[in-house]
């Protein structure tokens, strides 16, 4: 902490042998960052360009992949700088901003997955009412809620912690997340309770809603004809796989990352997993499993080969 300038700096102490492998880390993570941006942006652009993809399901997918681009841009540039720096530090204000972006976008993804589940439920279980229920107004409202609700929830503890006093200045991580709360001299009970409420509102409740919705879809599909079952499998399976992945990563962040005594290498690897796997997995899953998106991707790649 620089008392003269009244600026607080936090050391990011979660790196493993960064001095020895700095260039290897940099090359790998830079490649991953470019891959994430290209994969997600390509599918988002395809959805924007092609009129037949201007449907609620694809709009929600585009929003989900846009979240991945924003999330990666909030994390990766700082990571890349740290790999090449002698000291891995971040200002307290920048750390709080990273915390806000991390949890705002992560929680937003759960709400977007819930919106997708509702869209699939209406499409499969109430096909005749689909055009009147999933209107442009409904889709716009769901998108706004998916971004505004988590942003407003996460902003409260971030703003309240701006003046909170730090007693430790070394964070067990490579970017700012829940571990930041271990650095405070006094942890507010009210904020801890509020954190549980936030977790329920923007993660657990949407997850329960998704599971309930897909259970209904499964029951109705089982009682319906083969064509309905095929449609349900094609459109719902990618969403369920993505949900499982998100749930695993959120469970890790909420539980294991709060444990003080753990193996640094395991923490490092799992932390990298959170910023790598999920944001590559999503565009690959939707690009390969969603028939219409896959069709446009094949056409795009064939045009690139011809040129």
Q: Judge whether residue 180 has pLDDT over 90.
A: no
Number of Cβ atoms within 10 Å of the Cβ of 231: 17
Number of Cβ atoms within 10 Å of the Cβ of 175: 23
Domain residue ranges in the chain: 9-306
How far apart (Å, rounded) are the C-alpha atoms in residues 226 and 232?
Answer: 10
pLDDT, tens digit, 9 for 90 and up, residues 9-42: 899 888 888 888 899 999 999 999 999 999 999 9
- The pLDDT value recorded for residue 155 is 93
DSSP strand E in 154-247: where?
170-171
Distances (CA, A) of 10 to 4, 106, 168, 180, 226: 16, 23, 8, 10, 58
- The pLDDT value recorded for residue 61 is 92
- The pLDDT value recorded for residue 2 is 45
Which of 65, 48, 84, 74 is closest to 280 using CA atoms? 65
Contact partners, residue 245, CB within 8 Å, separation at least 6: 277, 278, 281
How far apart (Å, rounded) are the C-alpha atoms in residues 293 and 46?
Answer: 8
The answer to whether residues 238 and 285 touch, using CB atoms and an 8 Å cutoff, is: yes
Confidence of residue 150 (pLDDT cuts 50, 70, 90): very high
Distances (CA, A) of 156 to 100, 153, 187, 212, 283: 10, 6, 15, 30, 31
The answer to whether residues 67 and 278 touch, using CB atoms and an 8 Å cutoff, is: no
Distances (CA, A) of 298 to 58, 66, 292, 301, 304: 17, 21, 10, 5, 10
- The pLDDT value recorded for residue 1 is 45
Confidence of residue 262 (pLDDT cuts 50, 70, 90): low
- The pLDDT value recorded for residue 231 is 66
- The pLDDT value recorded for residue 112 is 92
| Bigger pLDDT: 119 vs 254 | 119
Q: Output the average pLDDT for the chain.
A: 84
Confidence of residue 263 (pLDDT cuts 50, 70, 90): low
Confidence of residue 3 (pLDDT cuts 50, 70, 90): very low
> CA angle, 211 as apex, 207 and 216 as ends, to 5°?
145
Mean pLDDT within 272-281: 81
DSSP strand E in 173-258: where?
none
| Bigger pLDDT: 96 vs 244 | 96
Mean pLDDT within 124-142: 91
Phi, psi of 10 (to 5 degrees): -110, 135
Beta bridge partners of 91: 9
Mean pLDDT within 207-223: 83
How far apart (Å, rounded) are the C-alpha atoms in residues 104 and 97?
Answer: 10
- The pLDDT value recorded for residue 100 is 94
Confidence of residue 189 (pLDDT cuts 50, 70, 90): confident
pTM for the full predicted model? 0.87
Confidence of residue 287 (pLDDT cuts 50, 70, 90): confident
Contact partners, residue 151, CB within 8 Å, separation at least 6: 104, 108
- The CATH code of domain 9-306 reads 1.20.1070.10
How far apart (Å, rounded) are the C-alpha atoms in residues 41 and 33?
Answer: 12
pLDDT, tens digit, 9 for 90 and up, residues 66-83: 999 999 999 999 999 999
How far apart (Å, rounded) are the C-alpha atoms in residues 99 and 78?
Answer: 13
What is the rounded radius of gyration, in angstroms, for the C-alpha atoms of the chain?
21
Number of Cβ atoms within 10 Å of the Cβ of 129: 11
pLDDT, tens digit, 9 for 90 and up, residues 55-65: 999 999 999 99
Distances (CA, A) of 276 to 31, 63, 85, 249: 11, 18, 21, 11
- The pLDDT value recorded for residue 232 is 67
């Amino acid at each position: 902490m620089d008392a003269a300038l009244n600026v607080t700096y936090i050391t990011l102490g979660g790196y493993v042998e960064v001095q020895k492998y700095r260039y290897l880390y940099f090359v790998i993570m830079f490649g991953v960052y470019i891959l994430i941006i290209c994969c997600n942006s390509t599918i988002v652009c395809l959805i924007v360009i092609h009129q037949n993809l201007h449907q609620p399901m694809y709009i929600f997918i585009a929003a989900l992949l846009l979240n991945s681009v924003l999330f990666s841009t909030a994390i990766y540039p700082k990571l890349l700088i740290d790999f090449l720096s002698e000291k891995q530090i971040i200002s307290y204000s920048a750390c709080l901003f990273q915390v806000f972006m991390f949890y705002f976008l992560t929680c937003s993804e759960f709400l977007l997955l819930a919106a997708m589940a509702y869209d699939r439920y209406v499409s499969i279980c109430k096909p005749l009412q689909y055009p009147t229920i999933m209107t442009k107004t409904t889709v716009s409202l769901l998108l706004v809620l998916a971004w505004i609700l988590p942003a407003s929830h996460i902003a409260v503890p971030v703003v309240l912690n701006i003046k909170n006093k730090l007693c430790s200045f070394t964070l067990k991580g490579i970017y700012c997340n829940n571990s930041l709360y271990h650095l405070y001299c006094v942890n507010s009970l009210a904020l801890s309770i509020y954190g549980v409420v936030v977790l329920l509102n923007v993660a657990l409740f949407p997850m329960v809603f998704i599971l309930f919705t897909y259970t209904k879809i499964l029951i109705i599909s089982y009682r319906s004809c083969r064509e309905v079952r095929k449609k349900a499998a094609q459109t719902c399976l990618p969403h369920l796989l993505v949900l499982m992945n998100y749930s695993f990563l959120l469970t890790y962040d909420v539980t294991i990352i709060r444990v003080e005594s753990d193996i640094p290498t395991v923490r490092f690897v799992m932390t990298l997993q959170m910023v790598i796997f999920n944001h590559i997995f999503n565009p690959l899953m939707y690009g390969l499993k969603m028939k219409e998106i896959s069709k446009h991707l094949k056409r795009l790649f064939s045009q690139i080969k011809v040129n």
